[in-house]
């Protein structure tokens, strides 16, 4: 049962990755077109850059006064939290299943 739950959490992480791949690039394109200063601060190729992901995870995107951008960045942040939480739960359950 433990491995089944770990597999379920892994499936949830895959769903989070799917949402992240949809919303985060849309957010970055929106920044590139309408907020070049913020985009410069995140740097080129910000899709998987640790600083940009930390900025997203910490909610730094809320400083941009654009409701359309925050409407794209909020689901990206939620999906990133889901990815991290589900992978953590999956690894914990997998390790627990290895215990004698």
pLDDT at position 19 over 90: yes
Structure tokens at 89: 């739960």
> Mean pLDDT over residues 14-39, rounded?
95
- pLDDT of 17: 97
Give the total number of structural domains in the chain.
Answer: 1
The average confidence (pLDDT) of the chain is 94
Tens digit of each residue's pLDDT (9 = 90 or more) over 72-91:
999 999 999 999 999 999 99
- pLDDT of 100: 77
70 touches 64 (CB < 8 A): yes
Provide the whole-model pTM: 0.90
Structure tokens at 3: 């491995």
CA distance 63 to 68: 13
pLDDT at position 70 over 80: yes
CA distance 35 to 10: 35
| 66 backbone φψ class: left, alpha, beta (φ>0; ψ -120 to 50) | beta
Range of the domain at 84: 2-98
* pLDDT tier, 67 (very low <50, low <70, confident <90, very high otherwise): very high
């Amino acid at each position: 049962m433990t491995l089944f739950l770990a597999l379920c959490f892994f499936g949830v992480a895959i769903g989070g990755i799917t949402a992240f791949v949809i919303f985060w690039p849309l957010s970055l394109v929106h920044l590139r077109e309408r907020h070049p200063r913020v985009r410069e601060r995140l740097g080129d190729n910000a899709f998987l850059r640790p600083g940009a992901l930390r900025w997203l995870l910490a909610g730094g995107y809320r400083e941009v006064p654009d409701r359309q951008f925050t409407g794209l960045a909020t689901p990206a942040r939620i999906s990133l939290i889901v990815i991290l939480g589900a992978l953590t739960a999956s690894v914990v359950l997998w390790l627990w299943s290895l215990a004698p």
